[in-house]
Structure 1
């Protein structure tokens, strides 16, 4: 059998998938120390290794990701650190039996948490764990899921002198090409290669689409070996459990794209199963490595738009009862530059939008306060802001305080949403509050409208909020979703905004299923920008589903022609939507507001033409 380094030079390496996901499925509680199972339940750990080996993995990763002193101390297991790591290698080796290589897993210690730990302590802990793993002679080491490049630099600097076996170094990112501590991937990868990393790559945090987009932007030397271990899409909370929705077939298709772009080590992370690894193995297992091919990032142009007259003081609910009404979502920036956002809002105002709706740190990614931007566009552009409010970030005190602030600023339209869990955003050390549900938030807002605080105290004045509720119709059982929606109406919702819909027939089904409701519905439409964007939304984003026909239409085009097709599809959906609903909710993809500007103009023109008939 070739050495692992020799094998890396000439083969596509099929990594394994998630360990914790399968341990959880085996009934191991989520608050357990999974690494300790190497000692207490070796049979379960080996069963998982064997399932990945049988699926086609040629690389098995030890169950030692968090087997360092800092984590083990939380369970009173520091005296078993050596045994846990050594057993981890032995268990994987016994399963591999020469059919796969074994790499010892070492994860971050800080893990993006805002904690103080001096560099010397970090060095001691990385050295301690690596020494224990190396005692059992693994074929390589994998330093994985590092959100901070600096911490990975420290780990590699400590461990590289201890051994000459191959080392895989993988960062985890939320943004497209930047680590949590501000390193661009180009810079971080170059540093890692100079410091002795044999393989550089990304894992966790995002699905195949996110990792592919990031890797396409990096420029590394031709002799670099890239790795990709994505999650099975973005998780969705279903009945108290996190569910990952990317299918094995999607992973197989993604693996082929990775291979064509020069990625040589391909596996899976959170949510992936032996079925996902089997799909990867079938897709690329027999292929040879391809050269690294970075893509060219496309730039978009913006234009200066003249602001028109201010809107009326009628609420959106008042407007939509009279005529077709268009609200457009425009995401707040992730940095301190608000100019593109302001220009986008101006363009949408001129196109005829009745309101701009701003998300509240969607996907748990930190963005500028939608309260501040809402006030700015109301003052500067004279367009109504509609602010999302998530239950995730504020406790009951903070939520009511925030609402009182909105009242003081004259921001009276809000959308109550649950919010994506913090652990999957760009600040994983943050806590998800969830003191209440979106139903409770709706009730709190309506109670403020009665001049009563959540605790029951009088507020001297009554608020005047118009509160919306979110609705996801992209489900298998629409009747169950409608029952949940009816409860939001009972809680006091004044209007409904749906997730984007891409099925013409579903639009009519939604109408038939909701026409008994006494409040207006704004049907969600979001234009697609590419085939990859379509596959990402379908396979990785909770609450969105695209028909095969739509994905095939997008797959037929690239570049600007693909965006034109995306607008064409959205226009057809818009036409259908306006047949059944007076409320239109357009979502702007990737700040490409020129797309929603065009759709907004079409909606306004169609509504005007209908009124003249």
Structure 2
């Protein structure tokens, strides 16, 4: 199947896109779903689960329709890789079906969302280990070999791109970009930071982006930042460094808590949606090419609406 935008992404060419919020925290804390290993992809195995996911995406697409923006649909496959799947009793064949089923669902959602354009579909991949800490010591070559499997499952689908989120080491990021390039898929790479604006392994954020570009010949379509509150990484953006031009998207947390605190939290910290929207307006002034707006842990559709209110232009009818 041929993806719509595999040869050129609208957001790279200037389109503003909303995306969704914290899928897993919304499903667990607000909707009461049990998601072992923080994995949402098993919901694809039942018609009821697919409808839960479909309704979630439709709720966010309605915000894009109201604000005249495009939308980036991220597959619910952040945990649908070999090591995490094994913990849930799923074989590689099972995981291949889940990843492809996820894209099929998003194709259906895109087809039905006639009032939003453009809509880009992304195959979402996560870290091999815990995204909150660099607990998987891999070389770039090992990371490439590991992530090539899941990326390969997206190749023959209608995914326009793949996105890797909550990546905590440069080696893993480099391996992902190389694996996607070898598979012929456009790839977006998103690093996470601790409260000091550094990756969990201590690498400064800007250095991580620069090293990734150097080691992959600029292979990523663009970069993002996710799973941290803007207060945690804002200071890292206070420069005129060239790497700032490469950051096109942010998916921030609602909470100012550290990763360690979030790991132990039994209640959701949803922060202040309006305040987070204003934070994004400030980030937009600091990141000259910021045009993909979404949320991560603790955010829901209210936060996305606040981001849209503060950042997105209303298109003429």
How many correspondences in the alignment? 284
Deviation at 1:75? 1.2
Aligned equivalents of 2:296, 2:17: Cα separation in 1? 15
Summarize the Cα distance change of 1:88–1:35 in structure 2 as closer, same or farther, 3 Å threshold: same
Deviation at 1:126? 0.5
Aligned equivalents of 2:143, 2:34: Cα separation in 1? 28
Summarize the Cα distance change of 1:221–1:287 in structure 2 as closer, same or farther, 3 Å threshold: farther
Partner of 2:157: 136
Aligned equivalents of 2:314, 2:231: Cα separation in 1? 21
Which of 86, 90, 94 in structure 1 is aligned with 2:104?
A: 90
Aligned equivalents of 1:222, 1:215: Cα separation in 2? 7
Larger radius of gyration: 1
Aligned equivalents of 1:218, 1:137: Cα separation in 2? 37
Deviation at 1:27? 2.2
CA contact (8 A) 1:198 1:225 kept: no
Partner of 1:355: none
Summarize the Cα distance change of 1:219–1:177 in structure 2 as closer, same or farther, 3 Å threshold: farther
Segment drifting more, 193-202 vs 215-224: 215-224
Where does the alignment leave 5 or more consecutive residues of structure 1 unmatched? Answer: 289-613
Which of 28, 31, 34 in structure 2 is aligned with 1:26?
A: 31
Matched, 1:50 2:61: no
Matched, 1:181 2:217: no
Deviation at 1:66? 1.1
SS in 2 for 1:109: coil
Deviation at 1:208? 2.3
Which of 216, 222, 225 in structure 1 is aligned with 2:238?
A: 216
Partner of 2:175: 154
Q: Where in structure 2 are the equivalents of 1:159-170 lying within 5 Å?
A: 159-165=180-186, 167-170=187-190
Aligned equivalents of 1:61, 1:199: Cα separation in 2? 16
CA contact (8 A) 1:168 1:199 kept: yes
Q: Where in structure 2 are the equivalents of 1:208-607 lying within 5 Å?
A: 208-217=230-239, 219-221=241-243, 223-234=245-256, 241-261=266-286, 262=288, 263-286=290-313
SS in 2 for 1:143: strand
Aligned equivalents of 2:108, 2:177: Cα separation in 1? 27
Deviation at 1:155? 1.4
CA contact (8 A) 1:18 1:268 kept: yes
Deviation at 1:140? 1.6
CA contact (8 A) 2:231 2:256 kept: no
Deviation at 1:177? 3.8
Aligned equivalents of 2:139, 2:154: Cα separation in 1? 23
Deviations 1:442-498 (CA, angstroms, capped at 9, x unpaired): xxxxxxxxxxxxxxxxxxxxxxxxxxxxxxxxxxxxxxxxxxxxxxxxxxxxxxxxx
Partner of 1:105: 124
Partner of 2:45: 39
Aligned equivalents of 1:148, 1:287: Cα separation in 2? 38
Deviation at 1:251? 2.1
Partner of 1:449: none
CA contact (8 A) 1:170 1:200 kept: yes
Q: How does the TM-score come out when normalised to structure 1?
A: 0.43
Deviation at 1:175? 4.5
Deviation at 1:121? 5.1
Deviation at 1:222? 7.2
Summarize the Cα distance change of 1:241–1:201 in structure 2 as closer, same or farther, 3 Å threshold: same
Q: How does the TM-score come out when normalised to structure 2?
A: 0.80
SS in 2 for 1:9: coil
CA contact (8 A) 1:12 1:284 kept: no
CA contact (8 A) 2:121 2:158 kept: no
SS in 2 for 1:245: coil
Summarize the Cα distance change of 1:217–1:66 in structure 2 as closer, same or farther, 3 Å threshold: farther
Deviation at 1:234? 3.0
Partner of 2:83: 70
Deviation at 1:182? 3.5
CA contact (8 A) 1:193 1:200 kept: no
Aligned equivalents of 1:277, 1:85: Cα separation in 2? 25
Matched, 1:191 2:211: yes
Partner of 2:67: none
Deviation at 1:275? 1.1
Where does the alignment leave 5 or more consecutive residues of structure 2 unmatched? Answer: 65-69
CA contact (8 A) 1:59 1:101 kept: yes
CA contact (8 A) 2:170 2:211 kept: no
Summarize the Cα distance change of 1:249–1:151 in structure 2 as closer, same or farther, 3 Å threshold: same
